[in-house]
Amino acid sequence: MDNATITRPTVLILLGPPGAGKGTQARMLEEDFGLVQLSTGDLLRAAVAAGTEAGQQAKAVMEAGGLVSDDIVLAILKDRMAEPDTARGVILDGFPRTAGQAEALDGLLDGAGMKVTSVISLEVDDAAMIARVAGRHTCAGCGEGYHDAFKLPATAGVCDRCGGTAFKRRADDNAETAGARLTAYHAQTAPLIAYYEGRGVLERIDAMDDIAAVRDSLSRIVQTVTR
Ligand code: AP5
């Protein structure tokens, strides 16, 4: 893909329920367009693993499938956005998730002379999402994502990207917690679709397609909105 299509600082938001493919597609957009993937889920999991105060507060909420408080999420995001590698643009994966986070993002971007370029809603069926989440695993070395049925390494047990042989599964990837995460998505995050539609920056794609087809749809949108 053509990295040169990005001509100005770009802020893409991937919206969608658990398992919609936000992380999978954000990593590919990162490769295709040279933008930086910024996943609040990954940042929070790193804080939990490091045992920071924010991580300790977030841990139980994440294990129950609820949303971590806006204060904690915004502090973590703000710190990450201040790093120099984000200057060319970011793909926000899993953020914003509440009206308060969306408003705070506008303020943060305003201060940096930026604005939201495009919000892409990954449209999927709830029923299929539990299966996607339950089959997910990632390479313990490089974080490349896989699925028991939909995306296996070319050589069984060996990561395509780094050759690692250890894989891990997330503590919140079980049917019960995934159900709670879907409920939180519909109650607190789905209303952002109408919010961004009203601002004229929303795009919708059918994310029930296979991974390659979704990648193509997303790339076409990114090429258009970044011109
Ligand atoms: P987070 O890490 O953001 O999880 P999530 O939103 O539940 O999303 P997932 O990571 O489960 O799904 P995804 O859409 O990235 O799917 P993926 O690409 O991996 O958040 C975790 C928790 O942190 C939250 O519950 C909350 O507690 C907290 N949190 C995070 N951000 C927060 C915020 N802003 N505010 C408050 N709290 C926050 O794909 C899933 C699987 O399906 C993979 O195995 C993949 O290979 C496969 N797959 C992907 N696409 C396809 C396809 N098209 N066809 C078939 N299989 C596919």
**Which amino acid is located at 98 in the chain?**
T
Token digits of residue 192: 């952002």
| First and final C-alpha spacing in the chain | 14
Q: Band of the pLDDT at 220, cuts 50, 70, 90?
A: very high
Protein residue whose Cα sits closest to atom 26 of ligand 1: 67
Which residue in 47, 26, 139, 34 sits closest to 92, CA to CA? 26
Asked whether 55 lines ligand 1 (CB < 6 A), one says: no
Cα radius of gyration rounded to whole Å, the chain:
17
pLDDT in tens, 136-175: 999 999 999 999 999 999 999 999 999 999 999 998 998 8
How far apart are the C-alpha atoms of 98 and 155, rounded to whole Å? 40
Which residues are the active-site residues?
Answer: 22, 97, 136, 169, 181
Query: Does the N-terminal peptide bond of residue 96 adopt cis geometry, omega within 30 degrees of 0?
Result: yes
- Phi/psi at 136 (5° precision): -75, 140
What is the distance between the alpha carbons of residues 113 and 11, in angstroms, rounded to a whole number? 12
Q: What is the pTM of this model?
A: 0.93
CA of 198 to the centre of ligand 1 (A): 25
